[in-house]
Amino acid sequence: MGRYYDITLANATGQVYQFTADGNGFTLGTGGTTFSSLTNGINNPGALNIEFDIPVFNYNTPQGNSHITVWGVGLGMIGQAAQLAGASITVSGGMKPGLPLATAAASQAGILIQGTVYQSYGNWQGNNQTLDLVINSGIAALDQNISFNWIAGQTLASAIAATLSQAFPAPTFKQSINIGSLFLPSTEPGLYSNFWQFASYINDISQRYGKPIYGPNYAGVNLMVVGNTIFAYDGTVPVTPKQLAFQDMIGQPTWIDQGTVSFKTVMRSDFALGTQFTFPQGVQSPYALTAPTAAVPGGLAGNKSIFQGTFIVKELHHFANFRQPDADAWATAMIANAAPSFA
């Protein structure tokens, strides 16, 4: 089928909620998953329908909770719904082998959100039986105290790396830091009660010292977490951009502001905030063309898209309805800015 999802719910001791033998309720087991569209790595045509709305955001600017609805659950699961509040949850999605759209499945399918079930409730209306989950993004470890010490003359990148290594050590956590060279004239220590406070502080202080270097449009250092990897980025470090393929796109990209474009792709877990990319190029590109002959009836159209250069993802949102057949029902919507000159 191509579309892929995996939802794993676990209690405080790490035991996973799984189907009972009759499929009507939950039991606890070791390993495995709770709901999935794959069985032993093979597409399951009888997989339950799911819908979800998952925003992805920087931890200094939270945007609310995510929501998942699982259709076709048994009455036993509806009766156990309240037990799921407080459970840890990992949601993966994307495309898996099966259709042409899944040609890059190995890199495009993966974790979309990891967090805690804030609210769980079942519903039975007519023939419809559903399980609804409201999710707080972020794992429990992010609520701990964080001690930070940015020493005068030290780069912010190395100061953040040292702090993350102490508060969230390997191999449980990984870190990916891609930020410019920012220094302090004097030492700046601090203690923060959770990761959200720390992320807000890092963004504020990096803007304060970064704007004189990178200009007034510098957005500062942003922190986000995907799975067990903590990302720090500010768009000033050149990286090899991802190349979007023609078959990745859903509809036309659209300018929504100066240097800002809105577009939609098949569901992608490998795109995150701060990801740099380029749009498809060449004769397959369906996007607006700039060649003057393109406006002449019967004239040869040029093959150059107006969306040139490198862009950086600014906002990202995953939308899903597993059984809905149209492309918009399994998509990632993004807003991106043209990469500034310092990137």
Whole-number Cα distances in Å, 15 to 9, 69, 319: 8, 22, 28
Q: How far is CA 159 from CA 65, 101, 162, 172, in A?
A: 30, 42, 5, 20
pLDDT at 17 over 60: yes
The pLDDT score that the predictor gives to residue 251 is 85
130-139 residue pLDDT tens? 999 999 887 7
Rounded to whole angstroms, how far apart are CA atoms 95 and 294?
A: 35
Q: Is the pLDDT of residue 285 over 70?
A: no
Mean pLDDT score of the chain: 85
Q: What is the pLDDT of residues 22-37, one digit of tens each?
A: 888 999 999 889 999 9
In angstroms, the CA 8 to CA 88 distance is 8
Backbone angles phi and psi of 315, in degrees to 5: -135, 150
- Tokens at 165, concatenated: 């290594």
Report, as an integer, the average pLDDT of 318-339: 92
pLDDT in tens, 68-116: 999 999 999 999 999 999 999 999 999 887 655 545 556 788 899 888 9
Q: What is the pLDDT of residues 177-209, one digit of tens each?
A: 989 889 888 888 899 998 889 999 999 999 999
CA distances from 295 to 123, 252, 254, 284, 301 (A): 55, 18, 19, 18, 8
181 backbone dihedrals φ, ψ, rounded to 5°: -90, 100
Using alpha carbons only, how large is the chain's radius of gyration in Å?
A: 22
CA 99/CA 92 separation, integer angstroms: 19
Q: Please state, for a pLDDT cut of 90, what percent of the chain lies above it.
A: 43
Task: Report how far residue 152's alpha carbon sits from residue 154's, in angstroms, rounded to the nearest whole number.
Answer: 6
Q: Going by C-beta distance under 8 Å and a sequence separation of 6 or more, which residues neighbour residue 212?
A: none
Q: What is the pLDDT of residue 343?
A: 45
Q: Are 206 and 95 in contact (CB under 8 A)?
A: no
Task: Say if residue 331's pLDDT is above 90.
Answer: yes
User: Which tens digits make up the pLDDT trace of 140-165?
Assistant: 678 888 999 999 989 999 999 999 99
Looking only at Cα atoms, what is the longest distance across the chain? 68
Q: Which residues pair with 56 in a beta bridge?
A: 316
Cα angle 314, 320, 321 (rounded to 5 degrees) comes to 160
Among 49-53, 179-183, 243-247, where is mean pLDDT lowest? 243-247
H or E element: which one contains 106?
helix 105-108
Specify the pLDDT at position 300.
47
Q: What is the pLDDT of residue 98?
A: 60
**261 pLDDT tier (thresholds 50, 70, 90):** very high
Q: Find out whether 103 and 75 touch, Cβ atoms under 8 Å.
A: no
Between these two residues, 313 and 258, which has the higher pLDDT value?
313
The reported pLDDT for the residue numbered 341 is 62
Residue 315 burial (10 A CB sphere; 0-12, 13-18, 19+)? middle
Residue 322: what pLDDT? 96
What letter represents residue 306's amino acid? I
Judge whether residue 298 has pLDDT over 60.
no
d(CA 342, CA 340): 5
Amino acid in the structure at residue 212: P
pTM of the model: 0.82
What confidence score (pLDDT) does residue 288 get?
A: 52
